Structure 1
Amino acid sequence: MRVPRISRTRYAAVGVVLATAGALALPAGTAVAAPTADSTTGPLMSYVVNTKANHGQVQKVEKAITGLGGTVVQSYEQVGVIVARSNDTKFAEKLRLAKGVDSVGASRTKGIQASDQGKAEVATESATTAAAPGEDPDEAYQWDMRQIGADKAHKISLGSRNVTVGVLDSGIDATHEDLAANVDASQSVSCIDGKTNTDWKAWQPTTSDHGTHVAGTIAAAKNGKGIVGVAPNVKLAAVKVVDDGGFIYPENAVCGFVWAGEHGFKVTNNSYFVDPWMFNCKTDKDQAAISDAVRKAVAFSQRKGVLNVAAAGNENLDLAHKTVDVASPDDTTPGSRPVTNDCLSLPTELPGVIAVSAVGSDGVKSYYSSYGKGVVSVTAPGGDRRFQFPNTPDKDGRIRSTIPGGKYGYMQGTSMATPHVAGVAALLASTFPWASPDELTEMLTSHAESVPCPTGEFNPGGAGTWKATCEGGADDNGFYGAGLVNAEKAVQWWR
């Protein structure tokens, strides 16, 4: 999401400016093998290779990769996914014929180059105000927390230190006054290039405010400084999957989900879609392999006890009735192509993932929020700067949260809705520590406040630009899923 257009949002945040197009850097020390005799040399490309999830099988496929002149970047034996590189234009075609290889897919449509430095996001800042008794200074601006009952929940519970929420994003500023106490460096990692790096600097934000903003909504501390998160006492883990160009490539996502499963996270927040395809179609060999790799990593994390929460997107698309994709591939030149419901947004549409739409301060679908009956699980405050204005000191309809450098700023999008849901899930996990991901999902949806479809045509602004059709009843519909998440109910044993 490097341009401020609502239809172009790999991050699920809108109204911000992100990095200009950049390519992925080759890790230092990575050797580029000489091409084989029958190869055609081209740009260095990255691939996800799927095989069976066992040591012996992975080793065989690694040998096949190197035998074709490729390089193994990292192998995830837990899920049977190998990240590989090659400058042979026929590499994928030849590797697909190797014994034990289930699928191979290029994880981007352009070659790997030195990464360009992008511009930082612009998040509108405003000064803090005097706090009411018992409140942090910026709580008056947090209409979103009151909308989901977080202020009432905090009188009962702030969450448990035994619960970790993984923020798969652009990194978290661990020095921020509202986050420092909750960011766990021992559970944080960079997954850029699909390779783990636990160095502190590696998982800090570089070109983006996005991850720090998301983190504050989940778990900014209740400490008399700035804002308060939904679950202000739980731990945060930064899992950096967004490179300096603003891309979340498949291998980064695979790394992030495997890390979450291996490190005991209870919840992950995923405010993005996996690049370079907005929708990955089974009929395309590359996209099918990408889907397989990410699906296996997500399923692994779920088996390890992780509930994954993801944004529905900001294109005002009906995900239950897909017809066209005009934004892919986003790492080169996007074109227009027909798509069907068999083409999936990753990780949002994978089994077991909680898909989140956005509402504004009036509790109505945000003009930009994508939706879909049977796709959206729940809804949460994401903000709406055009058509919905809260009763706050500055009447800003967006979401106020932490940004790097000890600052606070506003953003809006399903990116901002998703961490509200992740925070409520963290409160549920704190209240019910025995609960599995499926049980947390059941509690999350059953505790949600039903929101019926709008009466008549949904057409904010009247021009038809954001027109949408809501399908379903009050307890399950395309705009709001099971309804608006409720933090207060999440901390009450007797509900």
Structure 2
Amino acid sequence: MNIRYILLSAALATLALGTGCRKAELEAPSQDTSALEMEQASEMPNRKTVLHAVRLKFAPNQIDQVERIVKEQAGKPRMDLSSIPFLKEMKAVYLYRVFPYAGKFEPRTRREGMHLWYDVVFEREISTAAAQQVRQRAIEIAQQSSGVDIVELIRIPRLPKTSVTELSASELSAQTRTSGTLPTDDPLLSKQWHYHNDGTLIRAKRGADINLYKAWGVEMGRSDVIVSIVDGGIDVQHEDLRENLFINTAEMRGVSGRDDDGNGFVDDVYGYNFALEQGRITPHSHGTHVAGTVAARSNNNRGVAGVAGGDGSPGSGVRLMSCQTFHTDPTSGQSRNGGFEAAIKYGADNGAVISQNSWGIPGYEKIDASLKDAVDYFIKYAGCDNDGNQLPGSPMKGGVVIFAAGNDGLEYRAMPSAYAPIISVAAMSTNFEASPYTNRGTWVTIMAPGGDIYQHNGQVLSTLPGGSYGYMQGTSMACPHVSGVAALIVSEFGKMGFTNEELKKRLTTAILSEDINRHNPRFFGRLGIGYVDAFAAVTSNPGAVAPKIPQWQSVEVTPRGLEASWLAVEDADDEKAFGYKVYYSTQSLSQTNLAQAQYQKVIEPETKVGEQIARLLEGLEASTTYHLALTAYDRWGNESAPSLTSAKTHANRRPIVRVPQHEPIRVSGDETIKLPIEISDPDGDTWHYEILGSAQGTIVRRTDKGLELIFRVVAYVGEYTLRLKISDQHGASEELSIPFEIYRNAAPSLERPFAKRYLPQGKAETSYDLDDFFTDPDGDELVYTVKLLDNPSVRIQLTGSRLTIREEKLGPSVIVIEAVDPRGQKAVATLQLEIVPDEIVHLVYPTPVLSTLNVRVAEYLRSISLRILGADGRELLSQRAKLAPGNQIVKIQVSKLSPGTYTLYAEAEGKIYRQTFIKR
């Protein structure tokens, strides 16, 4: 077993993935090392990191030493890293390269700096808190080291959660094909509504599919197109998949346990198992289901069809490469994952040109630098040689990376899907409406069928391990539809000179003639450009001619902005324009300066040539003249000349938002902080508010005067910003950002203990400033309470932090003092006092005495003379003692005195004290 697997498996084993695919939050920060934070395993379960390791990108000047150590000590359970001081200080015990040695692909791996990434494992601690401290200290050390360029937490990706409904044996045996009614003879094809929706399912609408049947009339997939499935393992023995698997023939025909093709991996026949770090792929429900949608064998009289599964003839159908990153033990049900970055890179190195990813990293809105490097590498090198030139046998130069948008039902930048170069896929139900679970945002690229949550036959039907078939739903199921369509595009157009940019252009302009915003008005502009259309994707028209110039019909001034309208225009070689751009500027516009102006894209796929299109331009400055330009463009980016006009906006004013002066907002534990916001509209308009992004647990309530913000602990420890948009009824708006911090409250502590005091009667008034004794790690103001225990000899008074003590009578007293922070955490201490007679000596002990006589003298004395007289009055011992503050005990050695009765004679500041004692 691999050493990294041994060291990290305990952390990963606790993160069972559950049974499904309703995706938890996608991922991830960042090159900004200030964003690194501590997290407890007990905290919010949708955000997880490996506790006993961090990820470093070493500086180039450090890597030679690192690689020498790794080479010399490979295979050892621990490495001696003492020769690299900052690693020793980090308590590192092992280094593991994130992107493994790549054999014949190592030159470009090193050129891109990917050999610099290592996971640094350090000592496992007994407690989570101790391990967190070690990790945090390791991060700080690495950030300060010149030998490190980037520090990252190791985020733990997850599969979205979903249920699986497996077809029963009777359902499988009952499937028959009606001759001539379907394009292939796959028995279950009629249940794959996501390819061709006839509207017969409950809640379904005809045409809510990917228009695959028409596309199959043009292209069904060819075998030189390889799609890497970065997911759970594909069931390589499945009857409906095995003919369409990528096969590394050198490894299949080679020697077991040897890297026969020189790619750095051993026995990687169908891909590689990065979860277990072995060549053998282990079947996984999620990965097998995803793979079947991309390219289950079509027209083979078995089961289902894949989007690009071929026509049944030998050698047809795209090939599926299993880059396994999730594994579930069939006996224990325990799940493990890992190697995501390496898995994406492996696909590019071994022939894949499309990377299919239906997973994410929960709770983060920035992409990790190591994962970004993997994505960028795939886009740059897929289908290419070490120098980045297209390989003769590859259908495309460069690659595309496709990710599911995530199943949180939220509007936030879900990572990695929201990373701009990635094609991100949202999920559609059976009726053109967004599935309730799909994430949303302006970063979403396109939408595809993901399934209906209300009925299992409205979910996506595909392959399952063990030769089975079943339903799942989620953006995980939408994503492989788009990957399959991308594979059809490459199958149809791929050749020398065909590029990933051309693929992206064809894919992201291939949409159904249905308006996604009309079907989903609540999510206008946040579900992607439209619904993916497989037939449009394989349309071969090159679109060399720009559409006709559109003409303004009208531009009306309304309180909300400018309402512009025009007629849809034709395109000589594409039937009609694909979309329109409405440019606007406070400066005059012409053909030459359009690139400097802002614009809105308008796509109305349902509109026919000659029908009216209208768009409201909002968010414009009031009482301002705007110059407008209108152009039409086709799928291929050809844009018409502009049509020009101008108009002046309405004098609508924005709402007025007043935030009171307040202390920085910091919450911990069960604490809540309320912040009132005053809102008014200068024009008397009604207003409403919208939370932009995530509220991170903050509650927003309307009041008579505006809003009340209630901050509480729901999210992680860290700094956040609540963003609000206040808009009036005509669209004028003001945005508000309120920063706040969630922190772990630490209890107060006793900085220094209280020493016992002996106070002379008649001079016993004294005071303490309790702030000198107690401290709060969070800097909170402390509130004190004091209590006298039974039969006290003093009276006390507490004013703020000042404790005043006055004598009552001779004798001892005990005062219990509590220091409490604003969240109720406390520290407790006791102060012992004793009121004693106003003598220069308070106590002589022990008596009888054997060897050492202790003399406790008054606190105010700094020196005293002591003599011991015998029974006959002769002086036997004498000493002068100097006293330090707080040390008022003088020790006299009397062991040489004979047993008997003696007199202690003390003198200081003109006072004399006598006391007899017995020597044993």
TM beyond 0.5: yes
Q: 1:101 to 1:345 in 2, by over 3 A?
A: farther
> How far 1:265 moved relative to its partner?
1.0
The aligned runs of 1:391-406 (5 Å cut-off) are 396-406=457-467
Structure 2 equivalent of residue 204 of structure 1: 282
Q: Which of residues 143, 153, 157 in structure 1 aligns to 2:215? A: 153
Q: 1:405 to 1:7 in 2, by over 3 A?
A: closer
1:50 aligns with 2:39: no
Q: Which of residues 92, 102, 107 in structure 1 aligns to 2:139? A: 92
Q: Is the 8 A contact 2:516 2:530 kept in 1?
A: no
Q: 1:44 to 1:107 in 2, by over 3 A?
A: closer
Q: Is the 8 A contact 2:451 2:460 kept in 1?
A: yes
Q: Is the 8 A contact 1:214 1:415 kept in 2?
A: yes
Q: Partner of 1:400: helix, strand, or coil? A: strand
RMSD: 3.0
Q: 1:351 to 1:59 in 2, by over 3 A?
A: farther
Q: Is the 8 A contact 1:46 1:108 kept in 2?
A: no
Q: Is the 8 A contact 1:218 1:420 kept in 2?
A: yes
Structure 1 equivalent of residue 96 of structure 2: 73
Q: Is the 8 A contact 1:352 1:438 kept in 2?
A: no
1:82 aligns with 2:118: yes
CA distance in 2: counterparts of 1:149 and 1:8, whole angstroms: 29
Q: Percent identity?
A: 29
CA distance in 2: counterparts of 1:211 and 1:298, whole angstroms: 20
Structure 2 equivalent of residue 489 of structure 1: 536
Length, aligned pairs only: 389
Q: Which runs of 5+ in 2 are unaligned?
A: 1-16, 28-44, 70-83, 100-109, 124-133, 197-208, 249-269, 310-316, 329-333, 382-397, 543-920
Structure 2 equivalent of residue 308 of structure 1: 401
The aligned runs of 1:326-341 (5 Å cut-off) are none
The aligned runs of 1:51-200 (5 Å cut-off) are 51=58, 58-61=63-66, 64=84, 67=88, 69-76=92-99, 77=110, 78=112, 79=114, 80-87=116-123, 88-89=134-135, 90-108=137-155, 122-126=164-168, 127-128=171-172, 129-133=175-179, 134-146=184-196, 147-186=209-248, 188-192=271-275, 196-197=277-278, 199-200=279-280
Q: Partner of 2:326: helix, strand, or coil? A: coil
The CA deviation string for residues 172-209 of structure 1, in whole angstroms up to 9 with x for no partner, is 0000000001112425011227xx53x22xx222xx41
Structure 1 equivalent of residue 453 of structure 2: 385
Q: Which of residues 289, 292, 311 in structure 2 aligns to 1:216? A: 292
Which residue identity lines up with residue 358 of structure 1 in the other structure?
A
> How far 1:271 moved relative to its partner?
0.5
CA distance in 2: counterparts of 1:190 and 1:268, whole angstroms: 16
CA distance in 1: counterparts of 2:58 and 2:488, whole angstroms: 37
CA distance in 2: counterparts of 1:50 and 1:238, whole angstroms: 27
Which residue identity lines up with residue 204 of structure 1 in the other structure?
T
The CA deviation string for residues 387-408 of structure 1, in whole angstroms up to 9 with x for no partner, is xx7xxxxx81100000000000
CA distance in 1: counterparts of 2:519 and 2:164, whole angstroms: 36
Q: 1:75 to 1:313 in 2, by over 3 A?
A: closer
Which residue identity lines up with residue 50 of structure 1 in the other structure?
K
The CA deviation string for residues 73-102 of structure 1, in whole angstroms up to 9 with x for no partner, is 224344232223112543333233332411
1:419 aligns with 2:503: no
1:293 aligns with 2:373: no
CA distance in 2: counterparts of 1:44 and 1:384, whole angstroms: 37
Which residue identity lines up with residue 410 of structure 2 in the other structure?
L
> How far 1:494 moved relative to its partner?
3.0
CA distance in 2: counterparts of 1:7 and 1:441, whole angstroms: 25
The aligned runs of 1:262-301 (5 Å cut-off) are 262-274=349-361, 277-281=362-366, 291-301=368-378
> How far 1:372 moved relative to its partner?
1.1
Q: 1:413 to 1:294 in 2, by over 3 A?
A: same
Q: 1:457 to 1:136 in 2, by over 3 A?
A: closer
CA distance in 2: counterparts of 1:354 and 1:494, whole angstroms: 23
CA distance in 2: counterparts of 1:380 and 1:301, whole angstroms: 23
Q: 1:86 to 1:384 in 2, by over 3 A?
A: same
Question: TM-score, normalized by length of structure 1?
Answer: 0.71
> How far 1:452 moved relative to its partner?
2.7
1:447 aligns with 2:540: no
CA distance in 2: counterparts of 1:168 and 1:45, whole angstroms: 25
The CA deviation string for residues 287-319 of structure 1, in whole angstroms up to 9 with x for no partner, is xxx711111111111111121100111111113
Which has the larger displacement, 264-273 or 180-189? 180-189
Which residue identity lines up with residue 470 of structure 1 in the other structure?
F
Q: 1:306 to 1:70 in 2, by over 3 A?
A: farther
CA distance in 2: counterparts of 1:121 and 1:169, whole angstroms: 17
Q: Is the 8 A contact 1:312 1:348 kept in 2?
A: yes
Q: Which of residues 484, 501, 508 in structure 2 aligns to 1:438? A: 501
Which has the larger displacement, 83-92 or 216-225? 83-92
Q: Is the 8 A contact 1:50 1:292 kept in 2?
A: no
CA distance in 2: counterparts of 1:188 and 1:309, whole angstroms: 18
Q: Is the 8 A contact 1:261 1:306 kept in 2?
A: yes
CA distance in 2: counterparts of 1:96 and 1:44, whole angstroms: 18
The CA deviation string for residues 61-83 of structure 1, in whole angstroms up to 9 with x for no partner, is 55648655331222434423222
Question: TM-score, normalized by length of structure 2?
Answer: 0.40
Q: 1:6 to 1:409 in 2, by over 3 A?
A: closer
The CA deviation string for residues 205-239 of structure 1, in whole angstroms up to 9 with x for no partner, is 2xx41000000000000111000000000000001
The CA deviation string for residues 435-485 of structure 1, in whole angstroms up to 9 with x for no partner, is 322221111011222543555986xxxxxxxxxx312xxxxx212x12111
Structure 1 equivalent of residue 469 of structure 2: 408
Q: Which of residues 276, 282, 306 in structure 2 aligns to 1:229? A: 306
Which has the larger displacement, 142-151 or 434-443? 434-443
Q: 1:369 to 1:247 in 2, by over 3 A?
A: farther
Q: Is the 8 A contact 2:22 2:473 kept in 1?
A: no
Which residue identity lines up with residue 289 of structure 2 in the other structure?
H
Structure 1 equivalent of residue 697 of structure 2: none
Higher relative contact order by CA 8 Å / sep ≥ 6: 1 or 2?
A: 1
CA distance in 1: counterparts of 2:518 and 2:215, whole angstroms: 31
Q: Is the 8 A contact 1:49 1:84 kept in 2?
A: yes
Q: 1:236 to 1:429 in 2, by over 3 A?
A: same
Which has the larger displacement, 259-268 or 427-436? 427-436
Q: Partner of 1:181: helix, strand, or coil? A: helix
The CA deviation string for residues 333-368 of structure 1, in whole angstroms up to 9 with x for no partner, is xxxxxxxxxxx5332111310000011121221111
CA distance in 1: counterparts of 2:373 and 2:211, whole angstroms: 35
Which residue identity lines up with residue 218 of structure 1 in the other structure?
V
When Rg is computed on C-alpha atoms for both structures, the one with the higher figure is 2
Q: Is the 8 A contact 2:357 2:403 kept in 1?
A: yes
Q: Which runs of 5+ in 1 are unaligned?
A: 12-20, 25-42, 110-118, 282-289, 320-343, 390-394, 459-468, 472-476
CA distance in 1: counterparts of 2:441 and 2:349, whole angstroms: 32
CA distance in 2: counterparts of 1:265 and 1:4, whole angstroms: 27
Q: Is the 8 A contact 1:58 1:75 kept in 2?
A: no
Q: Which of residues 239, 244, 256 in structure 1 aligns to 2:323? A: 239
Q: Partner of 1:446: helix, strand, or coil? A: coil
Q: Is the 8 A contact 2:451 2:459 kept in 1?
A: yes
CA distance in 2: counterparts of 1:449 and 1:224, whole angstroms: 29
CA distance in 2: counterparts of 1:121 and 1:372, whole angstroms: 25
> How far 1:145 moved relative to its partner?
1.1
